[in-house]
A and B are shown apart, each in its own frame.
Chain A
Amino acid sequence: MEQSISATAELPIHIRAPRAIAQPVLIVLRHVGRFGMLVMEMVRALPDWRNWLPRTMDQCQAIGYGSLFIVLLTSGFAGAVTSLQAGYQFTGSVPLYVMGAVVAESIILELGPVLTGMVLAGRIGARYAAELGTMRVTEQIDALEALGRNPVSHLLLPRILAGILMVPALVMLANVTGLLAGWWAAKSALGITDSDFIYGTRYFFRTFDLWYSLIKAEVFGIVITAVPCYVGFTADSGAEGVGRATTSAVVISTVSILVLDTLLAKLLLPS
């Protein structure tokens, strides 16, 4: 081993440099390939609904009901702060009814889906990666396979389907809470009337905004569950492997949300 390391170090720079670049690329490609295989396994497992359906219900409860408090809390504060900051910037320069539009559009287009996504990436992502990673290192996944049962339909499909179902629902609730909190903050701190706030909200609102929010929520829901499931499912052995999987799952999900947020804005919003 030592010999091979020293041999690599002695290689000329024109060989070492491409190798240094190619190695991470190969690692990424390997993960993309394995992830693709796992997705195919999930599609194949869809007819096995007797196994994944009841477990999906359990996971829906864990994601939906379990995350409700933190999601509503985050969106409520985000709505209130958006309202107060907009008031600080706009008072005296634009009509107050614009506040309604600023709060509603900020919450529906950006803060509702992205903040909910971030919160769930931490809460659900860490949980899924740690659960599946621990199951991997304690041979529970091997045991499931050895019993002739499909780990994909027992473990992965229910979690990802629960994300697809529950994250959009949570985002819509976050939107409502953020809007109400923003409304309340604008009313109590800036003295805007209900009719002005509603007028501003409706004046700039387009139905597509809600669809946009929903599409983002759906995409984030897939990322928040699929990435940690993959990372946990393929975790290395030992406590260190589980720790690494958990950290990677949260980091990759969070970065993916930010990247996808930008991409979706570019692709879906008319400029």
Chain B
Amino acid sequence: MIELRNVRKSFGTQLVLDGVDFLVETGQTVALLGPSGTGKSVLLKHIVGLMRPDSGDVIVDDMSVPSLGRVELTELRKRIGYAFQMGALFDSMTVYENIRLGITDDRQYRDKVFSDDRVAECLRQVNLLPDVARKMPAELSGGMRKRVGIARAIAGKPSYILYDEPTSGLDPVNADSMDALIEQLQHELNVTSVVVSHDVRGSFKVADRIALLHHGRIRLVGTAEEFVQAKDEVVREFLERDFQVLEAGH
């Protein structure tokens, strides 16, 4: 379970998170929606301990992340897969080496046969061909980089996966395929996931629950249906453009 309790975070004079309460039950997929620059990625980084809140608490697996020591935090991170927005692939390493680095158990990481099998398996799970393993990140398209980033995130068999804008910068066809991949991974790996996005349509597809972050606070949490029926003006305004697209589609 992931829980943020009254988390506040500011950078200089800019208040980004203003008392965020956010809960993700085990096994659930929660999409965190919000316009660009509202602190969605900042919130995600708090979960994995890359950032510390100014006040409030972040609880993962009943542990307070900000108060964890170095060793405990490292152990926690091994249970969390983090798929970065632009992939964040190590550009001096091949795709194989990038994914292998995601094998968080050191003994398994050093076992060449295990690593080969695991990298091949991860590539299959993100629907990439085995020969991609030999390529350098610079040779990959944006969509492929994101997939390799997800492959690296799942290589350590995590209990949680955090997706940071998995569909941003992708064309609609690739975005749909990425949504399908996230759904597929939920079924195959049975993990708890947080998907940070500003893509309403995709979030409705992949998430059990959706939260809207607005001006540093969670404005609404609910199912896709509850979002559609919401009367809140901010929520409606955010959904409006995608609703028009959806309605036009129907």
Inter-chain contacts of A146 with B (CB < 8 A):
48, 50, 77, 80, 82, 84
Q: Which range holds the interface residue count of chain A?
A: 10 to 19
- Indicate which residue in B77, B82, B91, B106 contacts A140 across the interface (CB closer than 8 Å): B91
CA A201 – CA B20 in complex, angstroms? 74
Q: Is the CB of A138 within 8 A of B88?
A: yes
Q: Is B141 an interface residue (CB 8 A)?
A: no
- In whole Å, how far is A146's beta carbon from the nearest beta carbon of chain B? 4
- In whole Å, how far is B106's beta carbon from the nearest beta carbon of chain A? 8
Inter-chain contacts of B102 with A (CB < 8 A):
147
CA A150 – CA B74 in complex, angstroms? 9
Q: Is B34 an interface residue (CB 8 A)?
A: no
- In whole Å, how far is A173's beta carbon from the nearest beta carbon of chain B? 27
Task: Name the interface residues of B99-136: CB closer than 8 Å to any CB of A.
Answer: 101-102, 104, 106, 110
Closest to B104 in A: A148
Inter-chain contacts of A50 with B (CB < 8 A):
106, 110
Inter-chain contacts of B106 with A (CB < 8 A):
50
Q: Is B156 an interface residue (CB 8 A)?
A: yes
Chain A 125-142 interface mask (CB, 8 Å, partner B; 1/0): 000000000010011101
Q: Is A11 an interface residue (CB 8 A)?
A: no
Q: Is B86 an interface residue (CB 8 A)?
A: yes
- In whole Å, how far is A102's beta carbon from the nearest beta carbon of chain B? 45
Q: Is the CB of B77 within 8 A of A145?
A: yes
Chief secondary structure at chain B's binding surface: loop
Q: Is A149 an interface residue (CB 8 A)?
A: yes
Q: Is A143 an interface residue (CB 8 A)?
A: yes
- In whole Å, how far is A53's beta carbon from the nearest beta carbon of chain B? 13
Q: Is A21 an interface residue (CB 8 A)?
A: no
Task: Name the interface residues of B66-112: CB closer than 8 Å to any CB of A.
Answer: 74-75, 77-78, 80, 82, 84-86, 88-91, 101-102, 104, 106, 110
Q: Is A1 an interface residue (CB 8 A)?
A: yes
- In whole Å, how far is A76's beta carbon from the nearest beta carbon of chain B? 32
Inter-chain contacts of A143 with B (CB < 8 A):
82, 84, 88-90, 152
Q: Is the CB of B84 within 8 A of A149?
A: no
Inter-chain contacts of A139 with B (CB < 8 A):
84-86, 88
Kindly name the residue among A144, A147, A149 whose own CB sees the greatest number of chain B CB atoms within 10 A.
A147
Inter-chain contacts of A1 with B (CB < 8 A):
13
- Indicate which residue in B80, B88, B91, B152 contacts A142 across the interface (CB closer than 8 Å): B88
- In whole Å, how far is A226's beta carbon from the nearest beta carbon of chain B? 21
Inter-chain contacts of B104 with A (CB < 8 A):
147-148
Inter-chain contacts of B84 with A (CB < 8 A):
139, 142-143, 146
Given A147-B101, A147-B156: A142 and B74 interface contact (C-beta under 8 Å): no
Inter-chain contacts of A138 with B (CB < 8 A):
86, 88, 91
- In whole Å, how far is B180's beta carbon from the nearest beta carbon of chain A? 24
- In whole Å, how far is A69's beta carbon from the nearest beta carbon of chain B? 22
Closest to A135 in B: B90
Chain B 22-41 interface mask (CB, 8 Å, partner A; 1/0): 00000000000000000000
- In whole Å, how far is A235's beta carbon from the nearest beta carbon of chain B? 15
Task: Name the interface residues of A99-155: CB closer than 8 Å to any CB of B.
Answer: 135, 138-140, 142-150
Closest to B164 in A: A139
Q: Is B215 an interface residue (CB 8 A)?
A: no
Inter-chain contacts of A140 with B (CB < 8 A):
88-91
Inter-chain contacts of A144 with B (CB < 8 A):
90, 101
Inter-chain contacts of B90 with A (CB < 8 A):
135, 140, 143-144
Which B positions have Cβ atoms within 8 angstroms of A?
13, 45, 48, 50, 74-75, 77-78, 80, 82, 84-86, 88-91, 101-102, 104, 106, 110, 152, 156
Starting from the known contacts A139-B88, A143-B89, A150-B74, 14 additional A-B residue pairs (CB-CB under 8 Å) come to A50-B110, A138-B91, A140-B91, A142-B50, A142-B84, A142-B88, A143-B84, A143-B88, A143-B90, A145-B50, A145-B77, A146-B48, A146-B82, A147-B156
Which A positions have Cβ atoms within 8 angstroms of B?
1, 50, 135, 138-140, 142-150
Give 3 closest A-B pairs by Cβ, nearest first.
Answer: A148-B77, A143-B88, A139-B88
9 contacts between A and B (CB under 8 A): A138-B86, A139-B85, A139-B86, A142-B50, A142-B84, A145-B50, A147-B104, A147-B152, A148-B77
